[in-house]
Amino acid sequence: MDVETQGLLAELSNIHQRTKAAVEKLGDDGVNWQPSAPGTNPASVIVSHMCGSEAAWVGEYVGGVPAHRDRAAEFQSPQKTVKGLTVVVDRAQASSQTAISKHTSVSLNKLAATGRPEFKGTLRDCVLHALTHESEHVGHLELTLQLWQARGK
């Protein structure tokens, strides 16, 4: 593994650690609580969606392991416990570790086959897409935690 792939994995690991920390602070009741603001989701949905997306963008497009992703299911029937969500995050971490560690800075320059005609990028772009997407959602998750902790005050 070279410096770039190590850095990408470190960034994903940081996101996974932040995700698990927020989930643990929410507890089983909190991960299923939904803020009252329109368009929000409970933490269970946010985490399920983050990891489903990562399975596609990193595990499948970069690592070549079919994700068999059902995006709609991420929003309808996510894991509902801290333990279940932790397993989902750990699985995403392991899959991404395997996928990215196969590559170097040079091989990440290869054009990605995503099956998405609108996406014309490299394997690196797929990893960067996953990082950007997950960073946004971990922010949502941390805001959900803050709202959970402040409810009823």
Q: 28 pLDDT exceeds 90?
A: yes
Which is the CATH superfamily of the domain at 3-32+42-150? dinb family like domain (1.20.120.450)
**Chain-centre distance of CA 136, in angstroms?**
10
pLDDT band at 76 (very low <50, low <70, confident <90, very high): confident
pLDDT surpassing 80 at residue 67:
yes
- For the chain, the structural domain boundaries read 3-32+42-150
Paired residues of 111 in beta bridges: 122
pLDDT at 71: 87
CB burial readout 79-90, b (16+ within 10 A) else e: beebebbbebbe
Q: Do 112 and 122 meet the contact criterion of CB atoms below 8 Å apart? A: yes
Residue 64 has pLDDT above 90, yes or no: yes
pLDDT reading at 130 higher than 90: yes
pTM here is 0.94
Distances (CA, A) of 69 to 25, 73, 150: 28, 9, 34
Q: Residue 67 CA to chain centroid, in angstroms?
A: 13
User: What is the chain's length?
Assistant: 153
Listed residue (14, 18, 19, 12) closest to 97, CA to CA = 12
| 3-state percent helix, strand, coil for the chain, nearest multiple of 5 | 70, 0, 30
